[in-house]
Amino acid sequence: NAGVTQTPKFQVLKTGQSMTLQCAQDMNHNSMYWYRQDPGMGLRLIYYSASEGTTDKGEVPNGYNVSRLNKREFSLRLESAAPSQTSVYFCASTKDWPDTQYFGPGTRLTVL
């Protein structure tokens, strides 16, 4: 099993550009999550999907949209990137709440 995979690993955008971060898990997990981590800080929840077909806002949802494409895939979209969105983005999944979360390797995003 690959676990949780994320693409791309690195991305540089200009202010106002859009992009989609992809996340997929092959563990048949029900819940999936998007976090961002700023330097020297913990993770902050952007959006999550408790089950296929549902999505909910987390702590810092402004400027982002998500799609739970199917049970395996959960994407995060930045419609109009801003420098404040420069961060490392992590996707995670869990079989059932509140079990262990499994994390992807992260996407390092820089917005100029």
Partner 1 sequence: SQQGEEDPQALSIQEGENATMNCSYKTSINNLQWYRQNSGRGLVHLILIRSNEREKHSGRLRVTLDTSKKSSSLLITASRAADTASYFCATDGGRRALTFGSGTRLQVQP
**Interacting residues toward partner 1 by CB under 8 A:** 4, 31, 33, 35, 40-45, 48, 50, 56, 58-59, 90, 92, 97-106
User: For residues 13 and 106, which CB has a smaller minimum distance to partner 1 in the complex?
Assistant: 106
Q: Nearest distance from residue 106's CB to partner 1, in Å?
A: 6
Q: How far apart are CA 82 and CA 69, in angstroms?
A: 25
Q: Provide the minimum distance between the beta carbon of 43 and partner 1 in the complex, in angstroms, as a whole number.
A: 4
What angle (nearest 5°) sits at the alpha carbon of residue 69, between those of residues 83 and 61?
35
User: Closer to partner 1 at the Cβ: 40 or 53?
Assistant: 40
Paired sense of beta strands 107-111 and 87-94, if any: antiparallel
In the DSSP assignment, the letter for residue 80 is S
The least distance separating partner 1 from the CB of residue 93, rounded to whole angstroms, comes to 12
Is the Cβ–Cβ distance between 93 and 27 less than 8 Å?
A: yes
